[in-house]
Amino acid sequence: MGQTIELEAADGVAEAYLTGRPGEPGVLFFIDAIGLRPQIELMADRIASWGYLVLAPNVFYRRGRAEELAPRADLREAGAREEFFAGIGDRVPSYTPELSGPDAEAWVRALGEQAAAGPIGVTGYCMGARLAVRTAAQFPGTVAAAGGFHGGGLVTDAEDSPHRLIGASSADYVFGHADRDQGMTPEHVAVLEETLVAAGRPHLNAIYPDAPHGYTMADTSVYQEAGAERHYAELEALLARALRTATR
């Protein structure tokens, strides 16, 4: 349905998967730590089928092309997912806001060149949920919808914790948290809720029952159909109210 393109990012050329029809409202898709791969393309295609132009960049382009960084084993097999994560080193923590911020400028610019004029949406998974929140704050007035699913580290004690940026945004939010996620505990979810309310941002902030971290990813052993399908329904509703209404 889509195609792999190359675009100029902050520190070189990055691959991205682009799917949907030019001229539709734009959605920026932030990948999980596993990387840009067929599962991400399938998810982006499904979002595009709702009437959007979706861009999913390889945010790890500084480390290599998507194929070079992709898992070699079937992550649905017992232990394979854990082994993969044990071998990726500092891939995630080294992608700091100092790198992701300038990259986001490139992603938003590239999406805007082909999407409909007007606001865009962002959606992110795992570490991508943090990127979605940061991008919403970086582009207030442009990002009207932000989704974050099985995200970790959205609430920390650090001064640059993603949740502290929500007040700078103008987005409508939907968060679907993994149940019993050590990176996003019920206490963290409660702090996020307080932040969203204090900022006056429309939102849905829910813990999905029995959904493990990574529940949307059907190419891994932690996929949970109920959580994945709930995420699609809530994301579709978010994009419709935030983007479709704005572009009518």
Residue 246 has pLDDT above 60, yes or no: no
83-130: pLDDT as tens digits: 999 999 999 999 999 999 999 999 999 999 999 999 999 999 999 999
160-189: pLDDT as tens digits: 999 999 999 999 999 999 999 999 999 999
**Average pLDDT score over the chain:** 97
Q: For residue 244, what are the contacts with CB-CB under 8 A and spacing of at least 6?
A: 25, 51
Please report, rounded to a whole number, the percentage of residues in the chain having pLDDT higher than 70: 99
Residue 226 has pLDDT above 80, yes or no: yes
DSSP assignment of 142-203, as one string?
A: TEEEEEEES---SS-SSTT-GGGGGGG---EEEEEEETT-TTS-HHHHHHHHHHHHHHT--E
63-91: pLDDT as tens digits: 999 999 999 999 999 999 999 999 999 99
Instruction: Tally the domains of the chain.
Output: 1
Query: Side chain identity at 181, as an amino acid letter?
Result: D
pLDDT attached to residue 248: 41
206-225: pLDDT as tens digits: 999 999 999 999 999 999 99
CATH number for 214: 3.40.50.1820
Q: For residue 246, what are the contacts with CB-CB under 8 A and spacing of at least 6?
A: 118, 119, 144
Structural domain of residue 49, as residue ranges?
3-247
1-41: pLDDT as tens digits: 799 999 999 999 999 999 999 999 999 999 999 999 999 99
pTM of the model: 0.97
Cα separation of 212 and 224, whole Å? 7
Residue 247 has pLDDT above 80, yes or no: no
Cite the DSSP H helix spans in the chain.
Answer: 38-48, 66-69, 80-86, 97-114, 127-138, 186-199, 225-239, 245-247
pLDDT attached to residue 83: 96
